[in-house]
Amino acid sequence: MALVSGLTSEETARYSRHIILPEIGLAGQARLKQASVLVVGAGGLGCPAALYLAAAGVGTIGLADFDKVEAHNLQRQVLHATADVGRPKTESGARHLHALNPNVRIVQHTEGVRPENAVELFARYDLIVDGSDNFPTRYLNTDAAFFAKRPLVYGSIFKFEGQVTVFDPHSGGPCYRCLFPEPPPPGSVPNCGEAGVLGALCGVIGSLQAMEAIKRLSGITDGLVGRLLVIDALTMSFRSLNVRKDPECPVCGGHASIRSIEPDRYAGGCAVDPVGSRVEQTTPDDTDEDFEQSPAPLEMEVHAAANLFKRRRARLLDVREPFELNICQIDGATHIPMRQIPQHIGNLPTDEPMLVFCHHGGRSRQVTQFLRAQGFEHVSNIRGGIDAWAREIAPEMQRY
């Protein structure tokens, strides 16, 4: 087939609705074909972003994710189907993107983004779309994008609120650390597994990220550089906030203190760590000795907790909501929803070891701290909650 400005006749027909836009035209569509985008995370934001990038004819799309598809992902991660449960997200995503547009090259990065590979990986692509869902990875991504000299399209969601912007400090705009110099205190912000998220909002934010990438790569505009778009899906209100480059930014400022990617700075990696930054780990062998101490460890590793419970050395306290019990539960655990703990505090033993758990460990850590303040010295939080229990202790258990 004849090439017209780098496009075959089939591609010209496929992208004709783009090409008739004067702002894009044949030249802009050809630039999209020659472009490469790395989508970090094939989850709630990465799925719709990748779909629209592939549909738009971006020549090379990288998918970086180490996770596998789970049933609870399907409420919002529209790149995957029920039959994909258990498959690597990159594999599932690549197959569906190729089915949508076989002209696009899909590259799978099954190891995800790690401090050891981030800068080199980002440097292979023209632009980064950040679909990560936790603070350590967001800081890693923005730092790596700066050192690789690549623009990064940022998106985030929380319950009914979403945010989108473009970080490109090398063109005079701010970076993520100009907006948030340091991560929030561990445990202060729940993840979507604890707080919930409106699935359709992921589609809105991910699509906006794709739109920002397409506009920039086709040469229309730099888009949201220097502006943060904030969306409230409950009221359907949109706000645009100006974000200035911080001259004292630790990464892109004039006297930067962060000059390289150091793995310890991004502890937790792509896994959300909703519990404390100072973790007191225990193992089954030292559990009994630790529980004889006063106070007991603030937090306990799931295997040690299961060992104590199996030997009837501690009580399990489930502080999840009633609807969560319909998904999965641990036989023998006492159930008191988090909000009801104060009114039931008189029914809890002060001298008996208790292990508190929720879904991922965020709510249960707050309950643990509350009970300790009330004089319960033998209370510990189970790190990772019932999700960790399902992964490590009872793999037959339904996860969510």
Show which residues are catalytic: 192, 358
Using CB atoms within 10 Å of the CB of residue 361, give its burial: 0 to 12 exposed, 13 to 18 middle, 19+ buried: buried
What is the residue-wise DSSP string for 195-238?
H-B-HHHHHHHHHHHHHHHHHHHTTS--TTBTEEEEEETTTTEE
How many CA atoms lie within 13 Å of 61's alpha carbon, on the beta-carbon side? 36
Please give the Cα distance from 107 to 396 (Å, whole number).
33
Please give the Cα distance from 194 to 267 (Å, whole number).
21
Please give the Cα distance from 124 to 65 (Å, whole number).
16
Q: Decide: 276 and 300 in contact? Cβ < 8 Å.
A: no
Distances (CA, A) of 338 to 254, 343, 371: 46, 10, 11
Q: Decide: 69 and 92 in contact? Cβ < 8 Å.
A: yes
Q: Decide: 157 and 205 in contact? Cβ < 8 Å.
A: yes
- Torsion 80-86-89-93 (CA) sign: negative
Phi and psi dihedrals of 390, rounded to 5?
-65, -40
Phi-psi group of 90: left, alpha or beta (phi > 0 → left; psi -120 to 50 → alpha; rest → beta): alpha
Any idea what DSSP says for residue 398?
Answer: P
Distances (CA, A) of 371 to 346, 349, 375, 377, 391: 11, 11, 7, 8, 27
Give buried/exposed letters for 75-93 (b at 16+ CB in 10 A, else e): ebbbbbeeebeeebbbbbb
